[in-house]
Amino acid sequence: MTTVHDEPQPDRELALELVRATEVAALAGGRWMGRNEKEEGDGAAVEAMRKMLATAHIDGTVIIGEGEKDEAPMLYNGERVGTGSPPAVDIAVDPVEGTRLLAEGRHGATSLIAAAPRGTMFDPGPMVYMLKWIVGPDAAGAIDVDAPVAENLRQLAQTTGKSVSDLTIVMLDRPRHAELMDAVRAAGARLRLIMDGDSPAGLLAAMPEYPYDALVGIGGTPEGVATACAVRALRGGMIGRLWARNDEERARARELGYELDEPLTLERLVASQNTFFIITGVTSGDLVEGVNYGPRGATTESLVMRGTSGTVRWIKARHTPEKLADYRADAGA
């Protein structure tokens, strides 16, 4: 019987294969910045990423994609990508994380891919949302998903050597977070509300060099699984729980065997340390610069992480006008 450990494992060269896919997605999607056409911008990025992934030397299966096959014609859940050669990997993709940010010309839209050995990524099935806590290396293991917010913030302050009033918590600005916001404020911590993009925000919370101590809130489960690959590389901490939007979704999840009360640890979300996470800026944000177009081509900035080594690299790339021609045509420019 062949196990995941017997198969060829992803090595550091995979990062360079995958960053090419996020770069072309950003180059294609970035043409739609501020044009108020979410579907067109996302569609251009999806098509570009899929074409590049087809050339990658992997036997990839999309675990986290654009949706089920009947809803998404490209990069759908279960689609096979790559040339079919080893290594066999699970793939999570989000060609544009923050489609509204891109369409409205706002900061922080990105393109991302995460990868891990086949069979190691948590498949969220029908569960669209999960509660998440993401913290940096000093606080890894300090958060209890069942504890009150105030208690978790006290633990976070203690492990980071801060007072609670010094903590800065990042959270999506959503009506469903009204009680969480009140709890953070009542505890005395500072609160940074963001419009969209909790994957990049989760990375900011897990990286000590940035002034954010935790990401808290209910966000996308697919984004949570992808972000877990980055948190592995950053040696941070992450824990969550599936969150059902209604009774129908709750019943469907239980029918499929999902335990809604189960704490989703980092190890549960991605069961291998050999993870890869790549994120490229589409519009400029706190984490990476967006695409900059000019007469001599365009530049992109990417952040590339590998879980096994804990290596984090920023990659600044210049792309020739010839390389941009296809994506300019796709955007109707």
Which parts are annotated binding residues?
Answer: 42, 66, 94, 97-99, 129, 174-176, 196-198, 220, 223
Distance (Å, whole) CA 230 – CA 73:
27
- Opening angle at CA 219, ends 123 and 78, nearest 5: 25
Distance (Å, whole) CA 50 – CA 47:
5
Binding-site residue numbers for substrate are 97-99, 129, 174-176, 196-198, 220
Element (H, E) at 16: helix 13-30
> DSSP string covering 81-97, please?
ES-SPSPEEEEEEEEEE
Distance (Å, whole) CA 26 – CA 32:
10
A 10 A CB-CB count for 119 gives 16
Distance (Å, whole) CA 315 – CA 52:
18
Distance (Å, whole) CA 318 – CA 314:
13
Binding-site residue numbers for Mn(2+) are 42, 66, 94, 97, 223
CB 279 within 8 A of CB 199: yes
